[in-house]
Amino acid sequence: MLERFIPAAASYAGDVDQLVWLITFLVGFWFIAAEVMFFWLIFRFRKKDGVKAQYITGKEKHLKQWINVPHGLVLLFDVFIIIAAIRVWVHIKQTLPPADRTVRVTSQQWAWTFQDPGADDSLDTADDVFTTDELHVENNKTYHFRLESKDVLHSFFIPAFRMKQDAVPGRIYTGWFKPTRLGDYDILCAEICGIGHGVMGAKLVVETADQRATWLAAHAPAVDETATDATATDAASTDATSSDSTSAAAGQQ
């Protein structure tokens, strides 16, 4: 259902979509049944001349069934929903498959900074690439992300991945995703973070290994090892899609 509005671009996006379908079927059944019954009763028992209402206490066994049976069924349906919801949750939030690559995501008022591990695939080395408001990831690779915040709460939300996680200052959260569909997607901040909350977005680019290699080559910091910080800041500013913040980026670690 969600796919009608927004593509599913991560390995677990389909799981969330299926869960949403399941919930829609189960609660939709009750919703429609209850509304139909409700309006039918209003129509059937509208006031008619000479017809007096019945005196029913609700203790009559044959009538009480109309409450008790749905009551039991709602409980049963609830159990299905709970099991399905927890399965999806455990898969996305409580398991951490081995990473092919790890990126650092730093949020602040009002920009995202992404630290790509670079060609050597290890974070916090000289060839890391810092970008602001643009994240490049390779298709079909499992990524870990280290989510941090520098000031207030933000929330790292990628609708196409069906993934969301709050960034809390003072804490580092590690999560994962595995992109499965090429293209450009939105990254949103889903937690109000001040007057710039409405412009705090970023672009997510899911690309092939070749495209990523080209991108890396274009953005890799100069080989001069003595100036990691300076080059990193450089890379960030060239890449900045928003004029907000170039100071954001690098050198903090």
Partner 1 sequence: MANHHDTHDHHDGAHAHHDEGWFKKYFWSTDHKIIGFQYMFTGMLLALLGAFMAYVFRMQLAFPGQAVPGWGVVSPGQYNMLITNHGSIMIFWVAMPVLIAGFGNYIIPLMIGADDMVFPRLNRLSYQLFFVSVLLLIASLVVQNGGFGGAWTAYPPLSANKDFNLTPLGSSLWLGAVAVEFVAFLLGGINFIVTAMNARAPGMKAFDVPIVVWTIVIASILFMASVGPLVAGAVMLLFDQLLGTSFFNPNRGGDPILWQHLFWFFGHPEVYVVLLPAMGIVAEVMTVFARKKLFAYKTVIYTIVATGVLSFFVWAHHQFVAGIDPRMANVFTVTTVLISIPIAEMCFVYIATLYGGSITLSTPMLWALAFMAEFMLGGVTGIYLGSSGADIFFHDTYFVVAHFHYTFFPIAIIAVMSGITYWFPKMFGRHMNDFWGKVHFWGTIIPFNGIFIPLFVLGAAGEHRRIFDYHSFPHLATPELQSLRIIATVSLVVMLAFQPVFLVNYIVSMFRGPKADKNPWKANTLEWTADSPPPHGNWAELPNCYRGPYEYSVEGRELDYWPQNEKA
CB of residue 249 to partner 1, shortest distance in Å? 19
Q: Decide: 86 and 100 in contact? Cβ < 8 Å.
A: no
First-last CA distance in the chain = 42
CB 178 within 8 A of CB 15: no
What's the rounded Cα separation, in Å, for the pair 19 and 223?
48
**Token pair 């989510």 is at which residue?**
147
The minimum distance between CB 191 and partner 1, in angstroms, equals: 7
**What angle, 0 to 180 degrees and rounded to 10, lies between the N-to-C axes of helices 209-219 and 228-239?**
120
Contact 128, 119 (CB under 8 A): no
Give min distance, CB of 253 to partner 1, in A.
17
> What are the tokens at 35?
């509304």
* Residue 20 or 230 having the CB closest to partner 1: 20
Question: Do the beta carbons of residue 175 and residue 142 sit within 8 Å?
Answer: no
CB of 170 to partner 1, least distance (A): 3
Q: Which stretch of DSSP H or E encloses residue 42?
A: helix 13-44
Compare residues 163 and 249 and give the one whose CB is closer to partner 1.
Answer: 163
User: Phi, psi at residue 179, to the nearest 5°?
Assistant: -65, 145
Q: Which is nearer to partner 1, 23 or 126 (CB)?
A: 23
Taking the complex as a whole, the smallest distance from the CB of residue 216 to partner 1 amounts, in Å, to 24
Determine contact, residues 138/207, Cβ cutoff 8 Å. yes
CB of 138 to partner 1, least distance (A): 21
User: C-beta of 6: minimal distance to partner 1 in Å?
Assistant: 5
Q: Which residues contact 194 (CB under 8 A, 6 or more apart)?
A: 109, 110, 152
Nearer to partner 1, 157 or 231 (CB): 157
Nearer to partner 1 among residue 200 and residue 250 (C-beta): 200
Among residues 188 and 232, whose Cβ is nearest to partner 1? 188
Closest to partner 1 by CB, 233 vs 245, is 245
